[in-house]
A and B are shown apart, each in its own frame.
Chain A
Amino acid sequence: MIGIEDCLSEAMTIPGALDAILVDHTSGMAVAAEGVSYPEGSAAGLSEAFRATLDGLALSTPDGTIRIEDVIVTTDRAYHLIKPMETMFDGPLLICLRLDPDRANLALALRRLQAISHRLIAS
């Protein structure tokens, strides 16, 4: 069982990790960050990106409701992973990881992120 700070330092041990940030999706607040130069801006941007993904996919899904497990975006410079974690009263809490594509293994990173989120929040 780990706390918020440990969860980020563990995420940073994932091979290829460049930076990691934990974002409260409802308010768009940076809860904690490691290696992020401007956490407030990153948090706002990432929570907007997640919201847009949710809304956009909900509209394009036949039954109109979706549950995102991971958002994976590959850019020319990095892999971006966003994983929502349901919390018991508010949320979700987003754990966001940026990876170096030359060093990272996407499948491994996803599995590790999944394990970390289970140890942080038991649900």
Chain B
Amino acid sequence: MATTTTLDSVLTGLAQDRATGSLRIGRAGTIFLTRGRVSYAECTGTPGVEELLTASGRISAGAVRKARQAATGESDPPSGGDRLVDAGVLTKGELEFCVLGATLDASYFLLGPALATSGARPGPKPRFKDGERHWLGTHWFFDVPGLFQECRRRKARLDRAWPSSELDTQPVIPVRRIPGRHVVLSALQWEVLLGADTTATPAELARRLGRPAYSTLLAVRELGAAGLLATGADPADQAAPPKPALPKRAERSGPRAELRPGPGSDPAQPYLPQVSADPTDVKLLIRLRDALEALQ
């Protein structure tokens, strides 16, 4: 394990060398560095600045292509991004925020595997091309540890919304009837519900809506937590190993559930006893009721 070059060790190394260039991570995407800091990232699973711009209706796909060709044709500044700003397509602040948002979105999915597993699944070997820059130019920076930190924070944010990754890759299917009388939706949640055609996954919806994949994922998990999406199982069950349909009495004799969490148990688990349709339990309850009635 120590011999494999993980993505985070490669990136940390490049940051220490204050490298400028592009780091290609297999087919998943590319991270661009400027003097050791991440200035842009693109990922095949997330919409890039080009797609965000065209989806917002500010600029046509053809105009983006032309700006790109003009920027890659010349070796000197102005960069492609500066050209777009000069042409009045977007403001400097918008360009910076666009680059920042697209970079964070792509990084979350590019660096996510490196964060989740401690080298369990070595991804494709990253290839560094010295000196290569993105056509948009450099408009915002992230230092490498900060970027990893932000990805970790985003992961935690997702898990806080809904602690199961079940919905992340499944088609988004809204429930036909809501569990309450009214709901409050954010703008993106509305778009997700409207765009959900029971076949599109969150990633496909993000692309269709021209929204960042992470934000769409978060909206989907929030909708799931609000009970507005059809889900296979309760998120609490996902973490635990699959349970048999009907628990057998012989497996756990004695009290069925602990009323208080033990020292090692998960504090997130409710300490209410589990409910089952086990006939032994039902009989016990009937006997208890009879006994209580007899007391009166």
Contacts and interface: CB of A to CB of B under 8 A. Distances in A.
B215 A3 contact: no
A120 B150 CA distance: 24
Given A3-B92, A55-B184, A27 B215 contact: yes
Interface stretch (A12-20, A70-78, A88-96, A104-112): A88-96
A49 interface: no
Interface in B68-127: 85, 90-94, 96-98, 100-101, 104
Nearest to A55: B184
A68 to B, nearest CB: 12
B166 to A, nearest CB: 21
Contacts of A4: 93, 96-97, 100, 140
B9 interface: no
Main secondary structure of the interface of B (DSSP, over half): helix
Interface residues of B, number: 33
Given A3-B96, A26-B215, A58-B184, A89 B52 contact: yes
Nearest to B53: A88
Nearest to B95: A3
Given A31-B100, A90-B215, A59 B184 contact: yes
Interface stretch (B30-38, B194-202, B206-214, B285-293): B206-214
Contact of A26 (B93, B184, B188): B188
27 contacts: A1-B91, A1-B92, A1-B93, A3-B92, A4-B96, A4-B100, A24-B101, A26-B218, A27-B154, A27-B157, A28-B157, A29-B104, A40-B153, A58-B184, A64-B182, A64-B184, A88-B56, A88-B94, A88-B98, A89-B47, A90-B101, A90-B211, A90-B215, A119-B93, A120-B94, A121-B97, A122-B91
Interface of A: 1-4, 7, 24, 26-29, 31, 40, 54-55, 58-59, 64, 87-90, 93, 119-122
